[in-house]
Amino acid sequence: MSGDTIIELKNVGVRYRRRAGFMRSNAFWALHDVSFDLKHGESLGVIGRNGAGKSTLLRLLAGILAPDTGEVMRKTERVSLLALQAGFIPALTGRQNAILSGILLGLTKAEVEARMDEMVSFAELEQFIDEPVRTYSSGMRARLGFTVAFQADPDVLLIDEILGTGDASFREKSSRAMREKIASDKTVVIVTHYPETILDLCDRMVWVEKGVTVEVGEPRSVVEHYQQSLKPGGRRP
């Protein structure tokens, strides 16, 4: 299976409408013309400045949005974001939230419960797992959110920034766990505006600017061109 195309985008555009008064709206194209393919087992990096359309691109890949122009072809429906703290309800305990979030990410309740001890120890929340999440510090919440999200095992994992979450020591631990997963034969798309953090992890790199794919190819050369464009007087796409 390795090497087969699993998702293909062809000249994809996504438009938002902004309401501008009674019966009027302005169209805003977050993506104009994006084309690339994703192969089974590869790790694909997506780079671009703020506002390049990276978040919209992730939502498109995850099937949250449909394209307004162009085509998205996918061989699997199991494509999802590493969704941190998805559906958390502050009044409920860490344990209840872990189950809720896990079910939202496609696990069954039984699967989440079976992994609970392991998750609690990874998140370092042994003493707090049965306390309401509203009593957690933001660091504790981030640890639980990451740990649960990381349990989901879609065919294609979409990651928005690889920097890790939570306090300093957990950030390192979560970042290491992500790197291990990416380095395995999992199909991953990583979006970032710090290309150097993923340079050694990606098999290929896509550079998106103002909703248009500028370049797709070997990570080092794509990143080099991207960084040149950032310098004053550099070649802008």
Partner 1 sequence: MRRTGYLELIWYKGMADLHAEAARAYVGFIWWVLEPLLYMTAFYVAFGLGLRGGGVHTLTFLLCGLVPWKWFASTILSGSNSIQANTGLIQQVYLPKYVLPWMVLVTNGMKFLIILGLLLLLVATLHGVAVTWLALPVIVLVQLLLVAALASLAAALVPLLPDLSLVIDNGIIVLMFVSGVFNDVSKLPPTLAHLLSFNPMVQVIEAYRAVLLDHLWPAWDHLAWVALFAALVYGFAWRLLQRFDRIYPKVMMS
Q: Which residues bind partner 1 (CB under 8 A)?
A: 14, 16-19, 25, 28, 59, 62-66, 80-81, 83, 86-87, 89, 91-92, 96, 99-100, 103-106, 108-109, 132
The CA-based angle 110-114-118, given to 5 degrees, is: 145
DSSP β-ladder status, 25-39 and 5-19: antiparallel
Dihedral pair phi/psi, residue 221, rounded to 5° = -75, -35
Please, what is the minimum distance in Å from the beta carbon of residue 46 to partner 1? 18
Q: Which is nearer to partner 1, 106 or 217 (CB)?
A: 106
Q: Which is nearer to partner 1, 106 or 234 (CB)?
A: 106
CB of 21 to partner 1, least distance (A): 13
**105 or 182: CB nearest partner 1:** 105
Minimum Å gap between C-beta 50 and partner 1 is 16
- Nearest approach, Cβ of residue 105 and partner 1 (Å): 7
CB of 114 to partner 1, least distance (A): 15
Q: Is 33 or 160 the residue whose CB approaches partner 1 more closely?
A: 160
For partner 1, give the closer residue by CB, 8 or 68.
68
